């Protein structure tokens, strides 16, 4: 299945994946991330490639719409 032995041992020992282990550090919910991804894919279908700043601006709009007014960081 392409899963390393150490990963299997870690999961069996009760450790979480890196993605779920850092979920509390994420600003966007999974639903908000889906909205952002759908928007990017819609741009791509229309023949546009978003610049780096456009997804950042859209992420900020999504956060503001949910009441999160803290500016995004660089990472």
Report the candidate in 32, 26, 30 with the shortest Cα–Cα distance to residue 65.
32
Domain boundaries, the chain: 5-66
- The number of C-alpha atoms within 13 Å of 56 and in the hemisphere containing its C-beta is 8
Token reading at 65 = 């719409």
Residue 22 confidence (pLDDT): 65
Contact 59, 36 (CB under 8 A): yes
pLDDT confidence bin for 61, thresholds 50/70/90: very high
CA distances from 4 to 1, 16, 22, 75 (A): 9, 15, 21, 28
Per-residue pLDDT at 25 exceeds 80: no
Per-residue pLDDT at 47 exceeds 90: yes
What is the pLDDT of the chain when averaged over all its residues? 86
Q: What share of the chain in percent tops pLDDT 90?
A: 44
Assessment of whether the complete model's pTM goes beyond 0.85? no
pLDDT confidence bin for 18, thresholds 50/70/90: low
């Amino acid at each position: 299945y392409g899963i390393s032995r150490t990963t299997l041992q870690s999961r069996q020992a009760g450790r979480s994946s890196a993605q779920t282990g850092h979920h509390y550090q994420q600003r966007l919910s999974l639903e908000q991330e889906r909205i952002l991804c759908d928007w990017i894919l819609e741009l791509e279908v229309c023949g546009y490639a978003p610049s780096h700043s456009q997804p950042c601006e859209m992420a900020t709009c999504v956060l503001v719409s949910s009441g999160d007014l803290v500016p995004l960081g660089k990472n």
